Amino acid sequence: MSRVDNQRRLFLELIEELRPHWHHDPAQPQRLADWLARHRAGSRDRRLYRELCYTAWRILPWIEDTSAELLVRRVASFASPSKATAPFIEAFADPTVTSAPPGPPESLLPTWLGDECPAVLQDPTQRDALLSRAPLWIRLQTAQPPRVAAEFDSLGIAHSPSALLPDAWQVAADAPVLNTEAFRRGDFEIQDLGSQALLASLPGALSGHWLDACAGAGGKTLQLARRLGHAGRVTAHDIRGPALRELEQRAQRAGLDNVTIERAPSGPFDGVLVDAPCSGSGTWRRAPHLKWTTSHATIAAAAERQQFVLGKFAAMVRAGGTLVYATCSLCHRENEAVVDAFLEHHREYRPLPLRPPGHSSPQADGRWTFLPAELDSDAYFVAAFQRS
């Protein structure tokens, strides 16, 4: 059996392993990782099967009820070309599949999206951005960007700064940025541009003692700590201990001494960031399998949790302090509806105008959705409030 025929056989084996989970399991990337580990795949094979698998998730309605032959042809036709995928694409792709796709672009998005986020479906630019792969963004956290640029140049890693946020650089999707001295020194972190834009939307200088209530592994904690500077500090909290341990390491690498971890924060704080757990519908460009595991029921459950988390941590904001609510969801029920219900039950809060990067006038209603094409990023929602 030739090498590509063997790759085809193994890919179909992987597909059959994932098939029962396509519409149920949001943790399918872990199943893929387990499969790769079990098959002791080398780095090039990992890149190949990952790309084939993510392509299969992207175009699932076009492959799930087809023959194995058509499935392989369609996946090979839509897979991204690279050194790892080139022989597979050459052997099995068919240009007529991409010139006359099996369905309209909307068929690659769940039908319920029209109710939750009509803006994406009505605008072909937004829809196509959501269907495409997101670029890789890093956030610089050094006073010496030229030192990072020099190392990237020496390694042939293409990089370009965002026109809106100079600390954000776009780098090639498969660039080995984590394998650089600059990363080991803490000069940058990987962080999507939309995620960076959330905190950048808060107008004026931030100061004082902030709580990052749903800090996870600390993507936004580190950005917030840097923005607050030496005079300010961040308390990071999450219900996931392992994520907080990772946060601790990242803060150390970044040389930040104004971040502490707290298992049971109580406040009052000058500011509280609630980067709430959500359906992740804004991340489909990187996590396309979530398109098919998210339903009305999962969105309703997420919204209920968000109401609870926002109410709980809003109580920790001091009088006159700031509250920020954010999600990486496109869903109305997780975003605007949560904010509306919160404001109805918390008369002590009023919207705080935001100034999203690239907007000359403030958003007076204190809320903004970064749709995927606006910054060529994942999609995010942010709302800010001030306590009376």
Ligand X SMILES: C[S@@+](CC[C@H](N)C(=O)[O-])C[C@H]1O[C@@H](n2cnc3c(N)ncnc32)[C@H](O)[C@@H]1O
How far apart are the C-alpha atoms of 77 and 120, rounded to whole Å?
A: 25
Query: Within 13 Å, how many C-alpha atoms sit on residue 363's CB side?
Result: 20
CA distance 256 to 141: 10
Name the minimum Å distance from CB 309 to ligand X: 5
Per-residue H/E/C for 316-340: CEEEEEEEEEEECCCCHHHCHHHHH
Q: Which is nearer to ligand X, 77 or 201 (CB)?
A: 201
CB of residue 328 to ligand X, shortest distance in Å: 6
Calculate helix-pair angle for 3-18, 43-58, nearest 10 degrees: 50
Residue 45 counted as an annotated binding residue: no
- C-alpha separations of 103 from 70, 73, 114 in Å: 14, 15, 17
Nearer to ligand X, 71 or 375 (CB): 375
Q: 106 or 248: whose CB is closer to ligand X? A: 248
Q: Is 365 annotated as a binding residue?
A: no
**Active-site entry in 53, 214, 278, 328:** 328
Minimum distance between the CB of residue 368 and ligand X, rounded to whole angstroms? 17
Is residue 328 annotated as a catalytic residue, yes or no?
yes
Token duo for residue 78 = 């839509």
Question: Smallest distance, Å, CB 370 to ligand X?
Answer: 14
What count of residues does the chain have?
Answer: 388
Q: Which residue lies nearer to ligand X by CB, 7 or 294?
A: 294
* Nearest-angstrom CA–CA distance, 377 and 90: 30
Binding site for ligand X (CB under 6 A): 213-217, 219-220, 237-240, 243, 275, 277, 309
Distance between CA 276 and CA 381 in Å, rounded? 10
Name which of 187 and 238 has its Cβ closer to ligand X. 238
297 phi and psi angles, rounded to 5 deg = -70, -40
Question: Per the omega criterion (within 30 degrees of 0), is the bond before 176 cis?
Answer: no
Lookup result for tokens 């606006």: 374
Nearest to 97 by CA among 69, 124, 123, 120: 69
The closest alpha carbon to 208, from 183, 181, 235, 178, belongs to 235
Minimum distance of ligand X from residue 323's CB (angstroms): 15
Q: Would you name the residues annotated as active-site residues?
A: 328
Residues at the binding site for S-adenosyl-L-methionine are 238, 275
Residues at the binding site are 238, 275
